[in-house]
Amino acid sequence: MRPNTPTPLKEEESKASSKMSSPESAETCLAQNVQAAEESMDYRTRRKDLLIVERNQVWDLQTRLEASEVEVQAAGIVFKIREHERRDLELYGNLPSEAVPGPEVRDMGGHFLSNKSRIEGSLVFDISRHMPKGCHLHIHFNTELPPEMLLPHARRLKDTMFVRTTRPLLARDDFEKAEIVFNVMPKTTTSADIFSFEYNPDVKAELTSPWMRWADFRLSFPHDLVYEERPEGLDDAECWAREKMALTAERVYSDKQTTNGIWACFNQGTRAFKGLMNYESVYRWYIGEAINSMIRDKVMYAELRPMLMDKTIPSDDGLRQLDHSAQMKIICEEVKRKTKELEDKGELDKFPFGLKIIYCTPRSVPKARMQTELLDCIKLKQEFPNLICGFDLVGAEDRPNHIGFYCDLLVGFQKTCKDLDLTIPFMFHAGETLLDTGGSSDPEKSNLYDSLLLHCKRIGHGYSLLKHPLLIEKYKQQNICLELCPISNELLHLCGNIRQHPFPQLLAAGLHCTLNADNPSLFRRHSDVGAWLETTCSVEYPAQLLERRREEAGNGNI
């Protein structure tokens, strides 16, 4: 058999292939193709077309198209100021570089508590503070004002303000681990000694009382503890109590902190706040001051969320109890008084739409108790039809129960409201979780499903909604609005900082969103503006959109 011999054609192909595989030929070929690409507009045209298509689908397209020349100019100015402050070493200054940044450098949109003082010195913050904000739709009633405003009032109740702790305060470790609770009680109440070995913290003990008079507690409190902050005018005991009520940077950002751990700190703070503001004189004062706080922040309408499972609050002497009806009357009286005060000054435009109340109760209660809560909400709505505006279930979503646990009660509530010609929309906390399993190990118990099926008007947080492409479309179809609370989500460990928050993605998905403070005092914010500023630093939020939000609040569209 004769061996294969190359034909002349194959010899030519082999020579050409050898020539093309040489480094010199590859270099020439690449250079020619790069030059051809440079001369061609194909890629640039396709890229431009892609950007045009996306630009025509952005969530705020209509607002941008309708923006006036002044609004466009204002948005551009704010953007330039923001970018200047990002590079300003006195504020942030952490720019991309191989150099290891010094301790004075911060990330814009980094840890909120670490950045708090710099945020408050920011021009963008000052601009945000002065801009109108149509409404504040997610704020818990007992955490609108900081503890340093409440503690001086507690001093005045020398005989009737009491405190208890969950352990005797003997060693430094006790001060770190103890929880504190306030309560107004009759002056005849026997005062315990929390600083004694014999102190019994059990509130159910028959022969002893765990309550110590606050005035005595302050006098006996040690003076050698160190605090993260020391507000002017507060003594050592008050500084210690304040740090129990507000989340500290050490607790939030500790490398050993867990999601459940920070929630425990949060709940302890909530319980401490409750006793400091839930008594007659401060309850009344609190409403006016809360409105003043909103006026300072240019908020024109608010919906506050009191936890109403406790049915009474005490009078200042601890001898009388004010039920829900009495509490709601106080709110109505104080709103009316503040409205008249603004009218007399010709300043009603500063808070033109007033405030309303969303009835809140925890998801952890048994079904029988939930039925009582639903009935109480209906009765309050009947008595105060213009005040009660919704019903909410609250609590850490990684703990039982999920909303569906109460489905029959909630459906029955809706039918009862319809029969009685009442409008009490659901505004559940839902999606404020990473697990998103409704306090179980079953993903199908996500509260986001039940919030949809029960026709919520809005949901609180909605952080985990992006896990559910179907629900995103359903929420859009039902016009369910998300009450986003970015700073709250950071401090409770849903995200590491504001830049990691899914707010831009939720907007891009076409969902209705509002920005909210949630629990400003627990999060060391004396202002509701922080949420606006932090988001402004993280997403391009057109200045003209804020004006649209103000108009929507006035028209009742949210």
Residue 65 confidence (pLDDT) above 50: yes
Residue 426 has φ and ψ, to the nearest 5°, of -80, 140
The pLDDT assigned to 547 comes to 44
Mean pLDDT throughout 181-206? 97
Q: Give the least confident one: 20-34, 403-417, 489-503.
A: 20-34
Q: Is the pLDDT at 4 greater than 80, yes or no?
A: no
With contact defined as beta carbons under 8 Å apart, do 55 and 47 qualify?
Answer: no
The domain 132-147+279-555 is placed in CATH, from the list 3.20.20.140, 3.30.2320.50, 3.40.50.620, 1.10.8.50, at 3.20.20.140
Give the per-residue pLDDT at 530.
56
500-523 pLDDT, tens digit each: 999 999 999 999 999 999 999 988
What gap in Å lies between CA 344 and CA 338, rounded to an integer?
Answer: 10
Residue 13 has pLDDT above 80, yes or no: no
Contact between residue 339 and residue 348 where contact means Cβ atoms under 8 Å apart: yes
User: Would you state the pLDDT for residue 246?
Assistant: 93
pLDDT of residue 548: 46
**Widest distance between CA atoms in the chain:** 122
- For residue 469, CA distances in Å to 161, 398, 417, 472, 511 come to 51, 22, 32, 5, 12
Does the pLDDT at position 545 exceed 80? Answer: no
Judging by DSSP bridges, how do beta strands 161-165 and 481-484 pair with one another?
A: unpaired
Q: Has residue 541 got a pLDDT over 50?
A: no
Answer whether residue 7 shows pLDDT above 80. Answer: no
Beta-carbon contacts of residue 408 (< 8 Å; ≥ 6 apart): none
First to last CA, the chain: 90
Please classify residue 19 by burial: count the beta carbons closer than 10 Å to its beta carbon, then call 0-12 exposed, 13-18 middle and 19+ buried: exposed
- Looking at the predicted structure, is the pLDDT value of residue 550 above 60? no
- Beta carbons within 8 Å of 466's beta carbon, 6+ residues apart: 472, 502, 505, 506, 509
Residue 405 has pLDDT above 70, yes or no: yes
User: Residue 12 pLDDT more than 70?
Assistant: no
Look at residue 20 in the predicted model and tell me its pLDDT: 59
What beta strand segments (E) does 232-386 contain?
Answer: 302-305, 312-314, 321-323, 355-362
- The average pLDDT across 249-278 equals 96
Tell me if 451 sits within 8 A of 427, measured CB to CB. Answer: no
- Lowest mean pLDDT across 32-41, 400-409, 525-534: 525-534
The answer to whether residues 407 and 367 touch, using CB atoms and an 8 Å cutoff, is no
Q: What are phi and psi of 528, to 5 degrees?
A: -85, 0
Confidence band (pLDDT; 50, 70, 90) for 534?
Answer: low
Find out whether 397 and 447 touch, Cβ atoms under 8 Å: yes
pLDDT range class, residue 474, cuts 50, 70, 90? very high
The residue ranges of every structural domain in the chain are: 132-147+279-555, 158-270
What pLDDT is stored for residue 558 in this prediction? 54
What rounded mean pLDDT belongs to the chain? 92
Residue 506: closest CA among 549, 538, 553, 550: 538
Give the range among 120-129, 316-325, 374-383, 460-469 with minimum mean pLDDT. 120-129
Stated as kind and residue range, the H or E segment containing 332 is helix 324-344
Residue 413 pLDDT more than 80? Answer: yes
Both tokens of 253, joined, read 């950002």
pLDDT in tens, 154-180: 999 999 999 999 999 999 999 999 999
**What pTM was estimated for this model as a whole?**
0.91
* pLDDT value, residue 480: 98
Averaged pLDDT, 528-536: 57
CA dihedral sign of residues 25, 31, 37, 40 = negative
On the question of pLDDT at 204 being above 70, the answer is yes
Work out the average pLDDT over 470-490: 97
pLDDT in tens, 297-317: 999 999 999 999 999 999 999
Q: What's the confidence (pLDDT) of residue 544?
A: 44
What letter does residue 443 receive in the DSSP assignment?
Answer: G
Question: How confident is residue 546, by pLDDT bands cut at 50, 70 and 90?
Answer: very low
Instruction: Check pLDDT > 50 for residue 466.
Output: yes
pLDDT of residue 8 exceeding 80, the answer is: no
Give the pLDDT of residue 543: 42
What tens digit of pLDDT does each residue of 210-239 get?
999 999 999 999 999 999 999 999 999 999
- Amino acid at site 280: E
Joined tokens for residue 80: 């330039």
Count of other CB atoms within 10 angstroms of residue 104: 9
Rounded CA gap, 360 and 308, in Å? Answer: 6
| Tens of pLDDT, residues 132-161 | 888 999 999 999 999 999 999 999 999 999
Task: Dump pLDDT digits (tens) for 14-52.
Answer: 655 555 567 889 999 999 999 999 999 999 999 999 999
Report in angstroms the alpha-carbon separations of 467 from 105, 234, 365, 443, 502. Answer: 35, 46, 28, 11, 11
What is the mean pLDDT of the segment spanning 271-283? 96
Single-letter code of the amino acid located at 194? I
Which residues, in sequence order, are CB contacts of 405 under 8 Å at separation 6+? 363, 367
Which tokens belong to 487? 């700073």
Indicate whether 9 pLDDT > 70: no
- The predicted pLDDT at position 535 comes to 56
Q: CB atoms < 10 A from the CB of 275, how many?
A: 23
